[in-house]
Amino acid sequence: MTLSQAGIMQPIPAIGRYVFFSLSADAQGDAAVLRQSLQRLAALVDGKRVVAALGTELVQALGAQVPGLRPFPELTGPGVKAPSTSVALCLWLRGNDLGELLQPTRALEKALAPALKISRIVEAFRHGKGPTGHGLDLTGYEDGTENPEGEAAEAAAFASGLGDGMDGSSFLALQQWLHNFDAFDAMPPQEQDHCVGRRRSDNEELDDAPEWAHVKRTAQESFTPEAFVLRRSMPWALHSPSGDKGGLMFAAYGCSFDAFEAQLRRMLGQEDGIVDALFRFSTPVTGSYLWCPPMRNGQLDLRQLGVN
């Protein structure tokens, strides 16, 4: 029997909506109100069209503990940083068009009231198709290359051997990256390829990629122990009076946060002072660690939190 939320393993959907919730004043100090809201949530989350992820703020408000769940660390490197932002709950809604996500969003919002309220929503989407079939980042480079597959993906993404209520769960590192398209467009094509470490035209890794290329900084097999995660990132875009903005909702699912954090520290140059070239045209503006509970009898399994 599959214990994990199936949407984590499924391919990137055409449309994704990240709905972030914060604790309301009504929930402060009232774990009973929170449990009632989460009981209603559990019945609505199928793990396929809706993937649920809980933050430390919510777990602590319940007076519960999730082994391995911790706040996102605010990390810095030479001239760069990765911020930490608190999130009580994030629901990743998956679909084929934006319209079909409207009613589920409304139903989830009502189910979680009055304990939790929507703080923000990020609209995301699958963009294009790369040379090997994966979607593209808004820079035009293929995203998701060298993701583990099959049993290797399951081993990287899901906890096991921890007991009922934990096995099949996943630890999600979620960052919203904001691209500076003017800075990227100002680079010659060869420099763009060197920043990524791959040719945009065919997605081939460059043999002569510099040490600061993203591919070199995050080669999962180059860490000790190896730092494999399952990436399910999606481009996002927003039109505002100040101009169009866009970037990547980076999502890394792991059996713990250790592999992601090892990659991020190297990207920031904490190991050797070499900063990942992605920071030349993109900036992380959020950073959250969340826990994706397993499934049980077709519903979200919240036994670890004392919610049945």
**pLDDT greater than 60 at residue 252:** yes
Confidence of residue 29 (pLDDT cuts 50, 70, 90): low
Q: What share of the chain is helix, strand, coil (3-state, %, to 5)?
A: 30, 30, 45
The number of helix segments (H) and strand segments (E) in the chain equals 8, 14
**pLDDT greater than 90 at residue 31:** no
Confidence of residue 118 (pLDDT cuts 50, 70, 90): very high
- In the numeric block, which tokens belong to residue 173? 């590192």
% of the chain surpassing 90 pLDDT: 91
**pLDDT greater than 90 at residue 278:** yes
pTM for the model: 0.96
- pLDDT value of residue 236: 98
User: Mind listing the pLDDT tens digit for each residue in 204-222?
Assistant: 999 999 999 999 999 999 9
Is 286 in contact with 83 (CB distance < 8 Å)? yes
User: Mind listing the pLDDT tens digit for each residue in 134-189?
Assistant: 999 999 999 989 899 999 999 999 999 999 999 999 999 999 999 999 999 999 99
H or E element: which one contains 99?
none
**pLDDT greater than 90 at residue 93:** yes
Residues 6+ apart with CB under 8 A from 58: 23, 34, 88, 89, 116
Is 85 in contact with 173 (CB distance < 8 Å)? no
- pLDDT value of residue 178: 98
Weakest mean pLDDT among 26-40, 68-82, 112-126, 133-147: 26-40
- The predicted model gives 110-116 an average pLDDT of 95
- pLDDT value of residue 112: 96
To 10 degrees, what angle do helices 102-112 and 31-44 make? Answer: 150
- Rg of the chain over Cα atoms, rounded to whole angstroms, equals 19
Distance of CA 139 to CAs 127, 189, 195, 253, Å? 10, 11, 11, 23
Q: How far apart are the first and last CA of the chain?
A: 19
